[in-house]
Amino acid sequence: MTIRRFVVALVGMSVLLGGGPPAPSAQEMTEQFIPVGQSPGLSGKYTVIGKLQSVNAREQICSVASAVGIVNAKITERTKIWLDRSLLRQPNVKGTIADLKPGLTVEVKPEGHQSGAPSGPAEWIKVQVAASP
């Protein structure tokens, strides 16, 4: 290998290893597959779990009745919505705002690591899909 190729390879590797955006944590990559209320270190501490009260699709806001009262979460283009189908013994899948129906149990994680009720945009919303009677 010539010196020039070595330098180009070394510079390229340094850009790949340290110059790009931070890699997501393992939990971020697997969060979709964790059932409502069972997210290690997050559920109940940095998330709100409760019954979905209402969804305003036009304003992209949902209201959740939780132990801390009614909280509102803003749904943005970055908000991930997942269907927790663990009660059906099926894998979880991506959902949409159309899957947010009043009466369903949801878990909402605000953007960042804020504790307590979300007052701004939601990072993700998990919707628990109940087993049919």
Find the CATH number of the domain harbouring 76: 2.40.50.320
- Computed on alpha carbons and rounded to an integer, the radius of gyration of the chain in Å comes to 19
In a domain, 13, yes or no: no
Once rounded to an integer, what is the mean pLDDT over residues 111-117? 63
Residue of higher predicted confidence among 46 and 10: 46
For 67-76, what is the mean pLDDT? 90
How many structural domains does the chain have? 1
Query: Is 19 inside any structural domain?
Result: no
Domain of 97 in residue numbering reads as 24-128
- Flag whether 51 is in a domain: yes
pLDDT at 118 over 90: no
On whether the pTM is more than 0.85, the answer is no
CA 66 to centroid of chain Cα atoms = 18
Which is more confidently placed, 13 or 81?
81
Burial letters for 30-68: b for 16+ Cβ neighbours within 10 Å, e otherwise?
ebbebebeebeebbeebbbbbebbebeeeebebbbebee
CA 57, CA 64: separation in Å to the nearest integer? 15
C-alpha distance across the termini of the chain, in Å: 68
